[in-house]
């Protein structure tokens, strides 16, 4: 089967984005739903990039992650 065109791949990502926007317009009820919507948005962003660049290998997990009280964090890869 032939690979879908860039336009077709973007159209699919657009449909997914429409669903996330619809959910967000209904109101975010809690932190879990907020995290789920953010995760979906990151997945959509990856689909958009993949339409142009192809699938990317998943990023390695950090070897060490430090979170400080002011909410900022740093990671070692």
Q: What is the mean pLDDT of residues 24-47?
A: 94
Q: What is the mean pLDDT of residues 3-30?
A: 94
Work out the mean pLDDT of the chain and round it to a whole number: 85
- The overall pTM is greater than 0.85: no
Please check whether residue 16 lies inside any domain of the structure: yes
Q: Which DSSP helix (H) or strand (E) runs through 64? A: strand 64-67
Interatomic CA distance for residues 68 and 50, integer angstroms: 34
In total, how many domains does the chain have?
1
Please check whether residue 64 lies inside any domain of the structure: no
Q: Which is more confident, 28 or 54?
A: 28
pLDDT attached to residue 66: 74
Please check whether residue 37 lies inside any domain of the structure: yes
CB atoms within 10 A of CB 13: 19
Residue 34 belongs to domain spanning: 1-55
pLDDT band (50, 70, 90) for residue 9:
very high
């Amino acid at each position: 089967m032939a690979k879908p065109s860039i336009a077709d791949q973007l159209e699919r990502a657009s449909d997914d984005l429409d669903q996330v926007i619809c959910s967000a317009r209904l109101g975010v009820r809690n932190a879990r739903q907020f995290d789920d919507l953010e995760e979906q948005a990151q997945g959509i962003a990856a689909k958009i990039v993949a339409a142009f660049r192809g699938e990317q290998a998943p990023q390695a997990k950090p070897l060490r992650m430090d979170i400080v009280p002011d909410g900022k964090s740093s990671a070692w890869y």
